[in-house]
Amino acid sequence: MDIVLRITGIVIEVILLTAIVYALLKGVKLTLFDLGLGQKYDRAINMVLIALSCIVVIFFIAHLVTFYPPI
């Protein structure tokens, strides 16, 4: 039962942190386009932001699995 609660806690935290990272990176994308970056670079920016978000989510998962306190 202890493992199930720990895994549930980690999954919930990863979902919340992923939503926060998505909102932040979406804000970065919108800011870049507001500053005058053309639609020509939309695909490249999307690829960079997706790669960055994957790296951040993997970082969160690794740290939560490693340092999440036992219940």
Instruction: Break the chain into its structural domains and give their ranges.
Output: 2-67
SS3 category, 23 = helix
C-alpha–C-alpha distance, residues 63 and 12, integer Å: 14
pLDDT tens readout for residues 16-55: 999 999 999 999 999 998 998 888 899 999 999 999 999 9
pLDDT tens readout for residues 46-61: 999 999 999 999 999 9
Q: What is the dihedral of CA 12, 6, 49, 55, to 10 degrees?
A: 180
User: In the 3-class helix/strand/coil scheme, how is 34-68 assigned residue by residue?
Assistant: HCCCCHHHHHHHHHHHHHHHHHHHHHHHHHHHHHC
- pTM for the whole thing? 0.82
